Structure 1
Amino acid sequence: MAANADWYGSARVGLQSLDTGGDSEITVRGYAARMGFKGEHDLGNGMMSYGKYEWAVGTEGDSANVTRRHAYVGLKGDFGSVMVGQTYHTFYNFAYGPTDQPWWGAGYAVVLSPGRTAQALTYAGSAGAVSFGASLYMDDSSTDNTGAPNDMDKTELGVSFDAGVATFALAISDQDEIAGVDPESVTMITAHGIQAGPVDLAIGYQTQDVGNSTPTALIIHAGAMGGYLHFESLDSDGGASDPTSLTLGYTQSIGTKTTMWYEYQAYDADTGNSDDDEDYLRAVLKVDWD
């Protein structure tokens, strides 16, 4: 049976300028450098097994130099795929991921930015232009409000339809009762792959049902010819603030597996205190190998 395995890495280090209320500082820092192993085996009859282990590698400060990013195994075939472990799961893959396109300046003014999450079992499949998936989260450390162990901590469902002119997606993240945490449900609707001349556009809308409030967020991402604009606006529905974030970026290839990327980000915390607002300039060199 055929098999393949790869060791790979990506070093990402650059400069960041941060201005908060007139005070500014410049630092050298890392931007999610990583290394890992991935592989798959042909099991025959159209079946494959696969797995990945990836670590984040710190480049500055006194925090842990190596931490886990991905750790999962799975099976895939005509039935779709089944995966268990830590990685991006249903809510991210179907709805949030298509809007999460900046190198760094994203997730500042949204309801939910899930990223990589652990201890989940995920199924993904498709039928024609329709794709669908589900994730079940099971963490034996959590209990409900009576102190009883939780078998199921969170459920995610996702569905998308490729309409040609755009892909439309719906995803729901529903957290079960956990002691000390208000039950919440987040729904996201996304349209992505929209082409307007050279511009590729993605639009997302999130709404959350938590307690007595319903926060919402709008996310817009537009990219063209290596550049991009990313906008986020959070309505906290009576909360202390309604922040916004605007990121402008550009990606430049400078050689084999070598990239520079640049970002300007303006974050308005909407607290009435300008010292809480943040303006970032970032310039990062990324070198990959595999």
Structure 2
Amino acid sequence: MKKSLLALAVLGAFAGAASAQSSVTLYGLVDANVGKDFGSADKRMGYGAVPRLGVRGVEDLGGGLGAIFQMEHRFDTGNGLIVGNTTNQMWNARAYVGLQGAFGKIQLGREYTQAFWQQLGADPWGWDTVASTLTSGWTGGGVAGMRLNNSITYSIAAAGFSFGAQIAESNENGGANAAKTGFDKAAKKPFNLGVAYDIGGLSVGVGYENPGDADDKWTTVRASYKFGAVKVGGFYGTGTQADADKVKSFMLTVTADVGAGQIRAAYGDRKVDPVGAVGSASDMKGFALGYHHAVSKRTTLYVDYGNNSKLATEKNAYDFGVKHAF
């Protein structure tokens, strides 16, 4: 009997060691809201944060080296359809495999650009909800591609500093913002990089992106500081769109933590200087306001409102929704 108990204890120890050496996590997010979009008088149902289902994992290879992978699917809560493009990608958010260690992290496959993390870091809404129609327009400038297919990504973080660089094949990455919407061939290999420094309440970052078209490029600078429950931030971007139109944008932000909730506010402007034309329908100027309340660690209720003064009609947009992450 004692020998049996000892054998079980030994097996349990080995099983515990094995489970500690590798892990696979299933995660996801479901979001739905009602509201009205910019430029439309119609009321609709939709989502604020793109619903997703994903799997990620890490295996300890010893000596500080680890193997990593992630696959993430995006879908529409209302109808279950795939979100992202018309090519029916299953894992249209992220799909990569790689290695990590003291040297940093190397990922191969479809992944977010390193410049995108700096754009995202400036946005209180994280490119989610109806407010992101404005905030993503200011931070992305109509240039940023968000993700690249067939890419090699390197990143490292230490002592508050972080750095990342990415390059991808020209195939399956071309066309204006095709990294988000299609699989054309780019004019040249897309590449991007991002650098950031975080210490205490201060966070600063710089990003540069060349999505792969003949003329597009986008350089951004962000900075924020948190004073207790209040954080103030600023963003500036400058570059050229795929059609050689020059773009400049800025955004000022404030967030305030109030109990289990957070008040969010942003004001910004994007000016597009068209080649051989006067004025631009791509200009964006206005503000966004929101309140997000965490009813639990996983569930959030939210309401957002935005105004784009550059629209000819229906300059206002809003949404009310619930988000659950697991």
Name the residue aligned to 1:11. Answer: 30
**Matched AA of 2:137:** Y
**Aligned equivalent of 2:54:** 36
Give matches, 1:26-105, under 5 Å.
26-31=43-48, 32-60=50-78, 64=82, 67=90, 68-93=92-117, 95-102=118-125, 103-104=128-129, 105=131
Q: 1:17 to 1:143 in 2, by over 3 A?
A: closer
Deviation at 1:38, TM superposition (A): 1.1
Alignment partner of 1:266 is 2:266? no
Query: What code does the residue aligned with 1:240 have?
Result: S
Give the structure with the higher percent helix: 2
Query: Counterpart in 2 of 1:108?
Result: 137
Q: Which amino acid aligns with 1:185?
A: K
| Aligned counterpart, 2:280 | 240
- 1:125 to 1:15, Cα distance in 2 relative to 1, 3 A: same
8 Å CA contact retained: 2:156, 2:164: yes
RMSD: 2.8
Residue 73 of structure 1: CA displacement?
1.4
CA contact (8 A) 2:273 2:280 kept: no
Task: Measure how far apart 1:45 and its partner are.
Answer: 0.4
Distance 1:13 1:196 in 2: 32
Deviations 1:114-161 (A, max 9, x none): 4333322111124544322211021325789xxxx8795211122223
Q: Deviations over 1:150-181 (max 9, x none)?
A: 795211122223354523222111245xxxx4
Q: Unaligned regions of 5+ residues in structure 1, if any?
A: none
* TM-score of the pair, normalised by structure 1: 0.82
**Deviation string for 1:13-70 (max 9, x for gaps)?**
11113474xx733222233111111111111101111111111111336954775211
2:251, 2:110 → 1: CA distance? Answer: 25
Larger radius of gyration: 2
Distance in 1, matches of 2:69 and 2:174, equals 30
Give the Cα separation in 2 of the matches to 1:151 and 1:182.
6
Whole-Å Cα distance in 1 between the matches of residues 325 and 197 of structure 2?
Answer: 33
Unaligned ranges ≥5, structure 2: 1-17, 176-184
**Does structure 2 retain, via aligned residues, the 8 Å contact 1:188–1:204?**
yes
Counterpart of 1:214 in structure 2 is 246
**Whole-Å Cα distance in 1 between the matches of residues 188 and 315 of structure 2?**
38
User: 2:223 aligned with 1:191, yes or no?
Assistant: yes
Contact 1:137 1:152 (8 Å CA) reproduced: no
Amino acid at match of 2:171: D
Identity %: 19
